[in-house]
Amino acid sequence: MQFDQDYYNQLSGKIINSCIEVHKQVGPGLLESVYQVCLEKEFELNQIQYKTQVPIPVIYKGIPTGKDFYMDFLVEDKIILELKSVENLIPIFDAQLITYLRLANKKLGLIINFNVPVLKSGIKRLVNNF
């Protein structure tokens, strides 16, 4: 099945709306783990399929290293979601997500920083060969 930009836009909209609802309910300034568990509940309430702490194997020159990266969420097996609760998003977070997208062969990723007064200012969307 081919997934187009409209599909990704609709799904990312559902994800962002869920994050906004969590932010409204619990507010800024908490640990990422709190937002993760609340977001899991919000996804379940909205019947959004997800996996958490999904491993991405580290392969060096075609050789498995036995180490893994872990993405916070993989939503509907399509979008990588990374949660943050930091004062400012810094460029290394973008690099991390781009690496996850490339290694997992996914097209779209979101970074959500919950440590902001208005969640809209804490959202970053990154694409991989879209």
pLDDT digits (tens, 9 = 90+) for 70-123: 999 999 999 999 999 999 999 999 999 999 999 899 999 999 999 999 999 999
Task: Say if strands 123-127 and 108-113 run parallel, antiparallel, or are unpaired.
Answer: antiparallel
* Strand partners for 51: 74
Token pair, residue 53, equals: 């702490």
Model confidence at 1, in pLDDT bands (50, 70, 90)?
Answer: very low
- Note down the domain range covering 84: 5-127
List Cα–Cα distances, 100 to 24, 61, 65, 110, in angstroms. 28, 17, 16, 11
Q: Which of 79, 75, 70 lies closest to 39 in space, CA to CA?
A: 75
pLDDT tens digits along 52-79: 999 999 889 999 999 999 999 999 999 9
Model confidence at 3, in pLDDT bands (50, 70, 90)?
Answer: low
Domain count of the fold of the chain: 1
Q: 108: domain CATH number?
A: 3.40.960
